[in-house]
Structure 1
Amino acid sequence: MPYAELTITIPESVWISEVSRTHPDTRFRVLAATANTATGVARIEILGENPENISEKLREYDTVTDLTVFETKPEMNRIQVETTVPLLLTSLQESGVPLEMPFEVKDGQMTFEATIPQETLSNLGKTLDKFGIQYTVERIQQETESDSLLTERQRWLLDEAIEHGYYDTPRRTTLVGLAEDLDIAKSTCSEVLHRAEERVLKEYRNGDDTISSEFAMFSD
């Protein structure tokens, strides 16, 4: 099954594209989202300088019908947005591609990563073309069965964490230090590592059914 990494350029007509281009250093981290043909709802973290001002600017868009602020910090606002133009979400849903959360939008672009069947990947390209959404294929590779446990991004970050001593005892780096060294957000680093660790531990537990019986033997 192929692993694909695409950089999707969000059309300028979409509000998140325009506001992220106006504030190119701000990251819009989409935590959850759903959409149909008419409306869309997204839970978003605005990460950067003056997030409250950006939240207020979002209210000015005609396509943003409702905006609720859930949490405010000096460089983070967590909001929920309702919109009448969920173009990006509907295009991905129509192609049958599961959108893994969270994902980030920055300066009008988002990076899409997925391990999906070849037919679904082809449908994604056709659907993006249909909606006039530009994209660049950064990487496509066929994942072997032995590599299918983790995504490419998860393997990369897990390897980097090991190399930087994040799993050493005592640790040679912190989560913040690892994120800074790799030039990624702390929240993204934590999320990707957690998902990788979850998959590895569950696979280990599922594949080691003899442990409980061995302990039972010695318990007598």
Structure 2
Amino acid sequence: MIRARFRMPLSEDIWVTEVSMSFPEATLRLLTGVPKGDRALELGEVRADDPEQVADVIRAHPDIFNYDELYVDEHRAIGQYEADEKSLYAFLWDSSLPPEFPIIVENGEMEFDLTATQKQFEAFGSALEETNRDYELLTLVHTDEQDSLLTDRQWEYVTVAYRRGYFEVPRECTLAELADAFGVDKSSASETIRRGAGRIIGQFIVSRE
């Protein structure tokens, strides 16, 4: 089994590109999405210093309809809405591989995970090349285990920690900053990252023995 994470720039005419580039420090997370006629019914989360401000801009966008705010606090806002634009993840459907959520958008770029067999992964790579899309392969993990090496939560936390420089020496990101980004306390963030990193290190050591 192969588990990979990709990053790719989004078209400038997509609503989520416009919003994310207007708030480059915010993280927009598509928690789930399903087609609904000519639109997509989506559940989206905003993580920002002022999430309500970002949510208000999403609600007012001409490509967004029937926005319902489900939750809001100092750092997060969650809303359900219909989007008049499905290309954010439509190419994943076209590849016959189901989209994995959350799909993350920051400053006009999308990140998503993919779990596939070697054959599926190669076919997806070929299809991606044919679209002439710019993309970056951020992580690639091979495993023969039937179960995923990490839980979805561990994968997300370790990946974000790595991207933000938490494992660098000296660190480029503090535990408090990561906890704030995830909307949890420091002890929860620390335990999840520690367990995830421990499983990755353990798998690497076992594979070399």
Which residue number in structure 2 is paired with residue 19 of structure 1? 19
Which residue number in structure 1 is paired with residue 182 of structure 2? 185
- Cα offset, 1:77, TM superposition: 1.5
- Cα offset, 1:124, TM superposition: 3.0
**Secondary structure of the residue that 1:4 maps to in structure 2?**
strand
Q: Name stretches of at least 5 consecutive residues in structure 1 with no aligned partner.
A: 159-176, 201-220
**CA–CA distance in 2 between the matches of 1:77 and 1:157?**
19
Q: 1:54-89: CA deviations, max 9, x gaps?
A: 222223332223311112223322111211111022
Which residue number in structure 1 is paired with residue 80 of structure 2? 80
In the alignment, is residue 6 of structure 1 matched against residue 6 of structure 2? yes
**Secondary structure of the residue that 1:125 maps to in structure 2?**
helix
- Cα offset, 1:130, TM superposition: 5.7
Q: Please tell me whether the aligned partners of residues 35 and 89 of structure 1 are also in contact (alpha carbons under 8 angstroms).
A: no
Which residue number in structure 2 is paired with residue 43 of structure 1? 43
**Secondary structure of the residue that 1:59 maps to in structure 2?**
helix
Please, what TM-score do these two structures have when normalized by structure 1?
0.63
Q: Please tell me whether the aligned partners of residues 7 and 110 of structure 1 are also in contact (alpha carbons under 8 angstroms).
A: yes
Q: Please tell me whether the aligned partners of residues 66 and 83 of structure 1 are also in contact (alpha carbons under 8 angstroms).
A: no
**CA–CA distance in 2 between the matches of 1:44 and 1:118?**
31
**CA–CA distance in 1 between the matches of 2:66 and 2:129?**
29
**CA–CA distance in 2 between the matches of 1:138 and 1:4?**
7
**CA–CA distance in 2 between the matches of 1:98 and 1:19?**
25
**CA–CA distance in 1 between the matches of 2:40 and 2:26?**
22
Letter in 1 for 2:125: G
Q: Please tell me whether the aligned partners of residues 47 and 181 of structure 2 are also in contact (alpha carbons under 8 angstroms).
A: no
Q: 1:112-135: CA deviations, max 9, x gaps?
A: 223312332234335545666431
**Secondary structure of the residue that 2:53 maps to in structure 1?**
helix
Q: For this pair of structures, how many residues does the alignment match?
A: 176
- Cα offset, 1:50, TM superposition: 2.5
**Secondary structure of the residue that 1:104 maps to in structure 2?**
strand
**CA–CA distance in 2 between the matches of 1:114 and 1:133?**
17
Change (3 A) 1:8 1:35: farther
Q: Please tell me whether the aligned partners of residues 27 and 46 of structure 1 are also in contact (alpha carbons under 8 angstroms).
A: yes
- Cα offset, 1:16, TM superposition: 0.8
Query: For residues 92-131 of structure 1, what are the structure 2 equivalents within 5 Å?
Result: 92-128=92-128
Q: Name stretches of at least 5 consecutive residues in structure 2 with no aligned partner.
A: 159-173, 200-209
Change (3 A) 1:141 1:74: closer
Please, what TM-score do these two structures have when normalized by structure 2?
0.66
Q: Please tell me whether the aligned partners of residues 76 and 183 of structure 2 are also in contact (alpha carbons under 8 angstroms).
A: no
**CA–CA distance in 2 between the matches of 1:133 and 1:183?**
33
Change (3 A) 1:60 1:182: closer
Which residue number in structure 2 is paired with residue 135 of structure 1? 135
RMSD over equivalenced CA pairs, Å:
3.6
**CA–CA distance in 1 between the matches of 2:24 and 2:103?**
16
- Cα offset, 1:38, TM superposition: 2.4
- Cα offset, 1:156, TM superposition: 9.5
Change (3 A) 1:25 1:115: same
Change (3 A) 1:86 1:129: farther
**Secondary structure of the residue that 1:90 maps to in structure 2?**
helix
Which residue number in structure 2 is paired with residue 55 of structure 1? 55
Using the aligned pairs only, state the percent identity.
22
**CA–CA distance in 1 between the matches of 2:157 and 2:47?**
21
Compare CA radii of gyration and give the structure with the larger one. Answer: 1
